[in-house]
Amino acid sequence: MKKGIHPDYREVVFQDISTDFSFLTRSTISTKEKITWTDGKEYPLVKVEVSSHSHPFYTGKQK
């Protein structure tokens, strides 16, 4: 890959705001917020409204 033309691929914490469920993964998304994870390191934070932890299809509450 050419250097300088791809976004920064880094570890990011996604947090479901409806259930307070969080998970750490890698992403190129940009954010201004940060959070301290369970390992004591600080990571960028992205808040989402729906994740697999709160979506009715994945929780078995779909009607």
Q: What is the pLDDT of residue 13?
A: 95
What residue spans define the domains of the chain? 10-59
- Contact yes or no for 29/43 (Cβ under 8 A): no
Any idea which residue has 């940060």 for tokens?
34
pLDDT per position as a tens digit, 9-47: 999 999 988 888 899 999 999 999 999 999 999 999 999
- β-strand pairing of 34-36 with 42-48: antiparallel
The contacts of residue 12 (CB under 8 Å, 6+ apart) are 24, 25, 26, 27, 29, 31, 43, 44, 45, 46
**pTM for the model:** 0.77
Express as a percent the part of the chain with pLDDT over 90. Answer: 51
